[in-house]
Amino acid sequence: MTDVAPIPQTDPRAGYLAARTDIDAAVARVLESGWYILGKEVAAFEAEFAAFVGPGQHGIGVANGTDALVLALRALGVGPGDGVVTVAHTAVATVAAVELVGATAILADIDRGYTLDPVSFAAALERPPVPVKAVIPVHLYGQPADMGPILEIARARGIAVIEDCSQAHGAVWNGKAVGNWGDVAAYSLYPTKNLGALGDGGIVTTPDAALADRLRMLREYGWKSRYVSDIPGQNTRLDELQAAILRVKLARLPAENARRRAVAAAYDAGLADAALERPWRRPDTTHVFHQYVLRHPDREGLKARLRDRGVMTNVHYPVPVHLQPAYRDRVALAPGGLPNTEAAALAILSLPMFAQLSDADVGRVVEAVRASADLALAAE
Ligand SMILES: *Cc1c(COP(=O)(O)O)cnc(C)c1O
């Protein structure tokens, strides 16, 4: 038990307070402007975010990360009768987006980095229930997926690649940021993400100008010019208010990602000899630690002991998508099933991770985990 305030697992309010003066000014500017949907702020945020991802990228702001994936799939012409390979160890949104466009999700297993296992991806292509048109690697927890073999397999088969970058804004694989490797990339800007709005938001990026035009049309009723739909579209617009806030937060993102990495390094050092498994780092990547996820055989015991010591944790995610009631016994799985996914869901635990964690907080977390991990094992 403890007298001091508990350390939360994530804290979007701390992110607001750290930039309060600039965010309040940005909000006031939009409120005063009289223009609230798809205006100067959205255009500026799209350009700034595209430049952040890399040269030659286009950005299309949307209402949330699920819609970003839906628009990416629709822009590539993925729909009924098409298969999309992705993982079950992800936010359910990844799989929901595939079904929202009427396509068939085929779920593959993960590797030790908690991202799409290229071997399972290749196996899923052997006898798929429908022809596979796209693959969605998810750069989970802030760590890029094993893009070398994934891109090789996809290119050899003419399969489109949609990167789900919702947890990895600014992560780097092989010298370039995620989002530069596929045909199109989707990002959630939900408040707790590394780049988070103060409400819902999302963005799609692509290096393909024609695809960018199509994405812009799909975002707003299929309009090329106002009130005339060239293609059937939808409404998934980003607010001016959120865009103005996101511009403030984007300027701070590199420093905040660096702080997350420093927190992760301190956890690694402090827990080096603790009775648990620390996160594996994929070589040739810059991990941006959306989450710091450890493994422990008595995950629930460890979680409870940490809560007693004022350290809040979470599980991302406790039930793999293919075992959730909405998808169970219904979605297609790669041959061999998803043993790594199912084992991970039972053992993973996400420690407190956000850029405003103080060194004192980090020290408290390390101390609490060190004291609890052995005890939880002994109690098992
Ligand atoms: C958060 C998230 C999404 C969904 O984003 P929303 O903005 O909540 O729709 C999709 N994929 C991944 C990997 C996510 O973490």
Q: How far is 103 from 113, CA to CA, in rounded Å?
A: 27
Q: How far is the CA of 86 from the centre of ligand 1 (A)?
A: 14
The model carries a pTM of 0.97
**Two tokens, residue 324:** 């959730």
Q: How far is 237 from 351, CA to CA, in rounded Å?
A: 33
Q: State CA 132 to chain mean position distance.
A: 23
Per-residue pLDDT band for 130 (boundaries 50, 70, 90) equals very high
For residue 192, the model assigns a pLDDT of: 98
Q: How far is the CA of 65 from the centre of ligand 1 (A)?
A: 5
Residue 64 near ligand 1, beta carbon < 6 Å: yes
Residue 120 has pLDDT above 80, yes or no: yes
Residue 65 near ligand 1, beta carbon < 6 Å: yes
pLDDT tens per residue, range 59-108:
999 999 999 999 999 999 999 999 999 999 999 999 999 999 999 999 99
Per-residue pLDDT band for 3 (boundaries 50, 70, 90) equals low
Rounded to the nearest integer, the mean pLDDT of the chain is 97
Residue 291 near ligand 1, beta carbon < 6 Å: no
3-state secondary structure of 10: coil
**Mutational pocket test of ligand 1: of 62, 89, 167, the residue with most ligand atoms within 8 Å of the beta carbon:** 167
Listed in sequence order, the DSSP H helices in the chain are 12-18, 20-33, 40-53, 65-75, 92-100, 118-124, 147-157, 209-219, 240-270, 299-308, 339-347, 359-379
Residue 236 near ligand 1, beta carbon < 6 Å: no
The DSSP letter of residue 11 is -
Q: How far is the CA of 217 from the centre of ligand 1 (A)?
A: 22
pLDDT tens per residue, range 322-353:
999 999 999 999 999 999 999 999 999 999 99
pLDDT tens per residue, range 254-302:
999 999 999 999 999 999 999 999 999 999 999 999 999 999 999 999 9
Residue 361 has pLDDT above 70, yes or no: yes
**Closest alpha carbon to 202 in 45, 58, 62:** 62
Residue 94 near ligand 1, beta carbon < 6 Å: yes
Backbone angles phi, psi at 84, to 5 degrees: -130, 120
Q: Is the link from the previous residue into 292 a cis peptide, with omega within 30 of 0? A: no
Q: How far is the CA of 272 from the centre of ligand 1 (A)?
A: 31
For residue 379, the model assigns a pLDDT of: 64
For residue 311, the model assigns a pLDDT of: 98
**Two tokens, residue 307:** 């809560």
Q: How far is the CA of 369 from the centre of ligand 1 (A)?
A: 28
For residue 191, the model assigns a pLDDT of: 98
Q: How far is the CA of 184 from the centre of ligand 1 (A)?
A: 16
Domains of the chain in sequence order: 13-247 (3.40.640.10), 253-379 (3.90.1150.10)
Residue 121 near ligand 1, beta carbon < 6 Å: no
For residue 4, the model assigns a pLDDT of: 84
Residue 180 near ligand 1, beta carbon < 6 Å: no
Nearest-atom number in ligand 1 for the CA of 97 is 10
| CA-to-CA separations, 22 to 1, 15, 16, 245, 253, in angstroms, rounded | 38, 12, 10, 8, 14
Residue 188 near ligand 1, beta carbon < 6 Å: yes
Residue 113 near ligand 1, beta carbon < 6 Å: no
